[in-house]
Amino acid sequence: MEILKFENSSRPARKKSSSSKAVFGLAGIAAVALLGSTLAANISLNGGTGVEFGQGVALTTACDSAITSTPTAQFVNAANGGGFNFSTVAFTGVSYDCLGKVFTLKAYGDTSATPLTLATVSSNAYTQATFVFTTASSVSPGISTADRSPVNGTYTIGFQGTQATSGAVYKLTLESQ
């Protein structure tokens, strides 16, 4: 009987489903895209434009979306040489909404999370400068203010006593309360 003969059966070959491969491929691409957008964040500072040395850094505070700070150094002559000290910071582009707000400035080194000593006055070390954005002159421990013009959005603070060396300052933070 020929009914049970299996060797030369004419059964059609099964086609491999290419649609399942396409579904798995699309699912893989979607997973990578979703995971990439979940783990990565895009942060744009200063409107995406570059800031060169001496032009300042854009800062964001609660009362203003962008304040530019420009630190300056002053050469101090001394016996056996001298050096440049971190002497003032000028703030420009400050919104009038910041009038009367308290600001705190801190400076940091390249890798340290501890603020630098900005000024030393009478054996007191000051690691932060706190000031009020106002039209009146104010003197806080270790700092003095000059060039105040809230109408024009400018404010400059200076450091008294022995100042930090300019080479030690890598980063500035400005906090508003």
Q: How far apart are CA 6 and CA 16, in angstroms?
A: 23
The pLDDT value recorded for residue 162 is 84
**What single-letter amino acid sits at 105?**
L
Q: Kindly state the DSSP code that residue 28 receives in the 8-state scheme.
A: H
pLDDT tens per residue, range 81-91:
888 888 888 88
Token pair for 106: 């801190």
Token pair for 111: 């890798």
Does pTM top 0.85 for this prediction?
A: no
Which residues face 77 on adjacent strands? none
pLDDT tens per residue, range 96-113:
888 888 888 899 988 888
Nearest to 176 by CA among 162, 158, 155, 146: 155
- Interior/surface letters 35-58, b for 16+ CB within 10 angstroms, e for the rest: eeeeeeeeeeeeeeeeeeeeebeb
pLDDT tens per residue, range 23-68:
777 777 776 666 555 444 444 444 555 544 444 555 555 688 788 8
Residues contacting 76, CB < 8 A, separation 6+: 82, 83, 84, 85
pLDDT tens per residue, range 4-28:
665 665 655 555 556 777 777 777 7
Q: Kindly state the DSSP code that residue 4 receives in the 8-state scheme.
A: T
Q: In whole angstroms, how far apart are CA 167 and each of 42, 109, 110, 114?
A: 31, 9, 10, 16
